């Protein structure tokens, strides 16, 4: 028999000799066998899973952000709104993950920290790609990935591509705003710097919401994403401080000091400055 009839008369499939199972579809065999502790300490499992789950969420964030850029570039801004809203919701999941990791105490972490060697979240290539797609380009980090030529090539492509804010500024130009022409032909490998013509354009958008509804919605979606990213960065910094204090990171960074410094960086500066000037 291929079906089982339960007490509530639902027919449940039970014969999967020639059918794909849930586990096969999700490749759970590979996924659930990837948590290999390098120590015998119980809590290393928590440490591995939290970071693996975060990487899976970042994969989806990149999937959505890159699709949103493509949609905006071809003029389908409405489709991008759904993708950007999804990114914000994904970010809440990653932020909450720090609450789980913070149950790891300093005494527990020190028992297996040496097993990590120089491996560190600082080396997360997907996080670097998220930064690139949001417009923060740091060329020195590319050297970390030279060990893998294919990965290095993918990162270089992301590094050289326009960010989501670049394509948003292009939409301001299409709407007829007087934008500094140097921004349209700028070198995308350089981290974006605030420009007064862009702030003036966003100011007009916020003062004429009905006329520029799509641009207004786009601006608010971007603010949501940056807001959530900064919350993630802050929770990251406080979790690290809680577990290792002010020790250096395993990857060689200054740890908490470095994480505090990056909190000052803004991805979409005019969208924050315009709130003061309105």
Binding-site residues, please?
A: 47-51, 109, 113, 236, 250
> Taking phi first (over 0 means left), then psi (-120 to 50 degrees means alpha), and beta for anything else, what does residue 5 get?
beta
Strand, helix or coil for residue 18 = coil
> Taking phi first (over 0 means left), then psi (-120 to 50 degrees means alpha), and beta for anything else, what does residue 49 get?
alpha
**Do 81 and 218 meet the contact criterion of CB atoms below 8 Å apart?**
yes
Q: Which residues are annotated as a binding site for heme?
A: 236
User: Which two structure tokens, joined as six digits, stand for 197?
Assistant: 């013509």
The alpha carbons of the chain give a radius of gyration, in whole angstroms, of: 22
Q: What CA–CA distance (Å, rounded) separates 151 from 82?
A: 29
Chain mean position to CA 257: 21
Distances (CA, A) of 171 to 69, 87, 202: 11, 21, 11
Q: Which residues are annotated as a binding site for substrate?
A: 47-51, 109, 113, 250
Cβ-proximal residues to 99 (8 Å cutoff; 6+ apart), any chain? 235
Distances (CA, A) of 249 to 47, 50, 78, 106, 146: 15, 17, 42, 14, 21
E-strand ranges in the chain read 3-5, 11-13
- CA torsion 253-259-261-265 (nearest 10°) is 120
């Amino acid at each position: 028999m291929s079906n089982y009839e339960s007490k509530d008369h639902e027919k449940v499939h039970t014969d999967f000799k020639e059918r794909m199972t849930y586990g096969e579809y999700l490749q759970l065999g590979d996924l659930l066998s990837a948590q290999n502790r390098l120590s015998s300490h119980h809590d290393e499992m928590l440490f591995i899973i939290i970071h693996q789950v975060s990487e899976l969420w970042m994969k989806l964030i990149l999937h959505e952000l890159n699709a949103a850029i493509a949609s905006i570039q071809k003029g389908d801004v409405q489709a991008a709104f759904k993708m950007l809203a999804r990114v914000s919701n994904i970010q809440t999941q990653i932020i909450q993950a720090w609450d789980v990791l913070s149950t790891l105490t300093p005494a527990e972490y020190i028992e297996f920290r040496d097993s990590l060697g120089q491996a560190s979240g600082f080396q997360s290539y997907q996080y670097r790609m998220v930064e690139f797609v949001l417009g923060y380009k740091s060329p020195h980090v590319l050297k970390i990935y030279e060990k893998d030529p294919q990965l290095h090539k993918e990162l270089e492509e992301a590094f050289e591509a326009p960010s989501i804010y670049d394509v948003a500024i292009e939409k301001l130009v299409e709407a007829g705003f007087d934008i500094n022409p140097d921004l349209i032909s700028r070198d995308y490998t350089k981290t974006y710097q605030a420009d007064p013509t862009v702030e003036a354009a966003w100011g007009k958008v916020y003062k004429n919401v009905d006329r520029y509804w799509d641009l207004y919605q786009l601006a608010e979606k971007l603010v949501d994403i940056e807001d959530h990213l900064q919350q993630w960065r802050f929770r990251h910094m406080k979790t690290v401080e809680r577990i290792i204090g002010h020790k250096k990171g395993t990857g060689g960074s200054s740890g908490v000091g470095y994480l505090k410094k990056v909190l000052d960086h803004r991805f979409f500066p005019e969208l924050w400055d315009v709130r003061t000037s309105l």
